[in-house]
Amino acid sequence: MSINRRSFLEACSAVGLTGTLLPGAVYAQVDADDTELTVDHIAAAEEVAGVSFTPEERERMVDDLNDRLEQYDAIRDLDLPNAQPPATVFDPRVGGASLPEVSNREDGLDLVLPPAERPASSTDLAYASIPTLASLVRRGEATSVELTDLCLQRLRAYDDELNAVITFTEDRAMEAARRADREIESGNWRGPLHGIPYGAKDLLAVEGYPTTWGAEPYKEQTIDETAAVVQKLDNAGAVLVAKLSLGALAWGDVWFDATTRNPWNLDQGSSGSSAGPGSAVAAGCVPFAIGSETLGSIVSPSTRNGVTGHRPTFGAVSRHGAMALSWTMDKLGPMTRSALDAALVYDAIRGGDDRDPASVDVPFAFDPQSPLSDLRVGYVESAFGGDYDNAEADRRALEVVRGLGIEPEPVELPTDLPIAAMLNILEVEAASAFDKLTRTDGIDEMVRQTEDAWPHVFRTARMVPAVEHVQMSRARTELMRRMHAAMDGIDVFVSPSFQGGTLGITNLTGHPCVCVPNAFRDVEDQPAYRKQPGSISFVGALYRDDAALRLAHAFQQETDFHTRRPPIR
């Protein structure tokens, strides 16, 4: 019997199975009329999956497959929460890496806090670095209440244009700020983040406040816990002033109420999915924010908004209390004005957590004053060739690195492997994380219903055969091994942020990245004050976030891109 795809779909439609059948697994949600799979469904599924069985084999399969439908329904009845991880845990070390044999600095990072003069204006204070703010607060020349009030004022003043805030956490913030001032005045200084305000992407749970995930179906959601990263920042004395926007379910810059805007060009979205963190940091509304990245969600908005983004090594920061999108690819990290600021925040949030089985304790030997002579630096030679939007600025950035007394070695990434195919892992895991939303048609409520949005991806991901999904994971192991070999003898490499396959490959392998601004290009047919920021990326070896941050900091000591302010003031 020969059944083509069209007749297959027609047959499925007749029994209420359209859109729920998985090629290979022949997985269907049985309707209330107890419709069962038939040998015709199996034959048609073979056409989709690219396999062939005999009539006898189909007859043997059909009863077994129908029995399994009950098993699948039993799994669905469990009503698994979004945060429930799979039993398998992703470990970047499978490729051959290991935790570095380095020690933490015994004195922490206190040495980066030299005496600083108080800025002359409130605007200058709003754009001051974390070391400057920490120095002022510690010496009593500024208070946490003052800084917190300033951030809240600026967020409210500019949010009609930026749309960066989903929920203000003012009561929590003012209580924390007053506590910080009392502690510091009594001599109990917790460290460089004590009393410093910040914002958090609204996929992080904070007890007592909504956690909307930026999506219409969840805009009234509250989660009665506080994310591990927020808890760590609480312990460091930092002050959470707002939960910032993200593209719905961590894609893009469109959330349920608005599009978050780029303060360098308000006609443009701020990119995503860490849209609010990028926009708010760039506009001087918060000194730093916590974003997340699965595939570019820190690097892209950091680039668009002209800020510094640090995507830590996979597992270096606990994701407990964060919305799960892809359990094997999600990372949380800081978005700041400089690499030095990012290092201070990362130092506070890193570390293993029993509540996140993928997290590990990672040493952090960052020293901003140490020479670069011990760093082994590479660059993705092929990625700097050709003509693309930021090419000239990227090549100048590479020359700045060479001017630091470094001669980077050419590195080539394993782009010959099927990277795009492996990235289907993200889509399948995301569809699993939001399986109930898809099955109950909740995705129909989401604002974006285009091909480049989650509703479409969740639906199509259900058509990925289970065997192919496992094969993608096996191919990913090969990618990790080849990436480990490519970085043999390299602590950190330089790459254009969006060229050479760097972004996709390093998100799959879990390598850390520090993305810093390196250009503010004119926008065609726009006033001169509107700019298009560009960025360069420093990618560390696994667990060598310190190396990526050190080189990025050295680059910023020779350039001023990270000090520039957008026209919104």
Give residue limits of the domains in the chain.
Answer: 1-78, 92-356+366-417+469-563
Q: Are 248 and 447 in contact (CB under 8 A)?
A: yes
**pLDDT, tens digit, 9 for 90 and up, residues 390-408:** 999 999 999 999 999 999 9
Helices (H) and strands (E) in the chain, counts: 19, 13
CB atoms within 10 A of CB 117: 9
Q: Which residue has the tokens 């269907």?
A: 28
Q: Give the pLDDT of residue 125.
A: 98
CB atoms within 10 A of CB 230: 24
Please compute the mean of the pLDDT values over residues 468-488 and round it to a whole number. 97
Q: Give 290's DSSP letter.
A: E
| Domain 92-356+366-417+469-563, CATH | 3.90.1300.10
Mean model confidence pLDDT for the chain = 91
- Kindly state the percentage of the chain with pLDDT values over 90: 81
Burial class (CB in 10 A: 0-12, 13-18, 19+), 25: middle
Contacts with 543 (C-beta within 8 Å, 6 or more apart), sequence order: 97, 99, 100, 313, 316, 362, 363, 512
Q: Give the pLDDT of residue 12.
A: 43
Q: Give the pLDDT of residue 17.
A: 41
**pLDDT, tens digit, 9 for 90 and up, residues 502-527:** 999 999 999 999 999 999 999 999 99
More confident: 27 or 376: 376
Radius of gyration of the chain (CA): 25
Query: Given pLDDT bands bounded at 50, 70 and 90, which one contains residue 42?
Result: confident
* Six-digit token string for 512: 């850390």
β 239-244/197-201 pair status: parallel
Residue among 129, 201, 495, 537 flagged as catalytic: 201
Beta strands in 209-307 (DSSP E): 239-244, 261-262, 265-269, 289-293
Residue among 129, 135, 270, 273 flagged as catalytic: 273
Checking if the pLDDT of 6 tops 70, the result is no
Q: How far apart are CA 105 and CA 89, in angstroms?
A: 30
Q: Give the pLDDT of residue 112.
A: 59
**pLDDT, tens digit, 9 for 90 and up, residues 21-40:** 444 345 433 333 357 888 88
* Six-digit token string for 172: 């929590």
Q: Give the pLDDT of residue 32.
A: 32
Please compute the mean of the pLDDT values over residues 151-175 and round it to a whole number. 98
Q: Determine the distance from the C-alpha atom of residue 385 to the mean position of all C-alpha atoms in its chain, rounded to a whole number.
A: 27
* Six-digit token string for 479: 């990618």
Q: How far apart are CA 521 and CA 493, in angstroms?
A: 24
Spatial CA neighbour of 517 closest among 408, 412, 411, 400: 400
Q: How far apart are CA 273 and CA 197, in angstroms?
A: 22
* Six-digit token string for 309: 């983004």
Q: Are 302 and 308 in contact (CB under 8 A)?
A: yes
Q: How far apart are CA 496 and CA 502, in angstroms?
A: 8
Q: Give the pLDDT of residue 18.
A: 40
Checking if the pLDDT of 385 tops 80, the result is yes
- Kindly state the percentage of the chain with pLDDT values over 70: 92
Lowest mean pLDDT among 73-77, 163-167, 428-432: 73-77
Q: Give the pLDDT of residue 229.
A: 98
**pLDDT, tens digit, 9 for 90 and up, residues 253-289:** 999 999 999 999 999 999 999 999 999 999 999 999 9
Say whether 13 sits in a helix, a strand or coil.
helix
Q: Give 543's DSSP letter.
A: T
Q: Give the pLDDT of residue 107.
A: 45
* Six-digit token string for 468: 């192919």
Q: How far apart are CA 263 and CA 271, in angstroms?
A: 12
Q: How far apart are CA 472 and CA 212, in angstroms?
A: 31
Checking if the pLDDT of 184 tops 70, the result is yes
Q: Give the pLDDT of residue 28.
A: 38
Lowest mean pLDDT among 28-32, 55-59, 350-354: 28-32
Query: Given pLDDT bands bounded at 50, 70 and 90, which one contains residue 103?
Result: low
Please compute the mean of the pLDDT values over residues 99-118 and round it to a whole number. 68
Query: Given pLDDT bands bounded at 50, 70 and 90, which one contains residue 104?
Result: low
Please compute the mean of the pLDDT values over residues 548-559 and round it to a whole number. 98
Q: Rounded to two decimals, what is the model's pTM? A: 0.93
Q: How far apart are CA 410 and CA 118, in angstroms?
A: 44
Query: Given pLDDT bands bounded at 50, 70 and 90, which one contains residue 337?
Result: very high
432 noted as active-site residue: no
Query: Given pLDDT bands bounded at 50, 70 and 90, which one contains residue 464?
Result: confident
Query: Given pLDDT bands bounded at 50, 70 and 90, which one contains residue 568?
Result: confident
Spatial CA neighbour of 118 closest among 107, 134, 105: 134
End-to-end C-alpha distance for the chain, whole angstroms: 70
* 198, 303, 563 from 284: Cα distances, Å: 11, 16, 11
Query: Given pLDDT bands bounded at 50, 70 and 90, which one contains residue 41?
Result: confident
**pLDDT, tens digit, 9 for 90 and up, residues 535-548:** 999 999 999 999 99
297 noted as active-site residue: yes
Please compute the mean of the pLDDT values over residues 549-569 and round it to a whole number. 96
Q: Give the pLDDT of residue 156.
A: 98
121 noted as active-site residue: no
Checking if the pLDDT of 5 tops 60, the result is no
Q: Give the pLDDT of residue 4.
A: 44
Checking if the pLDDT of 457 tops 50, the result is yes
Residue among 297, 300, 318, 338 flagged as catalytic: 297
Q: How far apart are CA 444 and CA 207, in angstroms?
A: 28
Residues in the chain: 569
DSSP string, 482-525: HHHHHTTT-SEEEEETTSTTHHHHHHHHT--EEEEEEEEEEPTT
Query: Given pLDDT bands bounded at 50, 70 and 90, which one contains residue 343?
Result: very high
Q: How far apart are CA 45 and CA 326, in angstroms?
A: 27
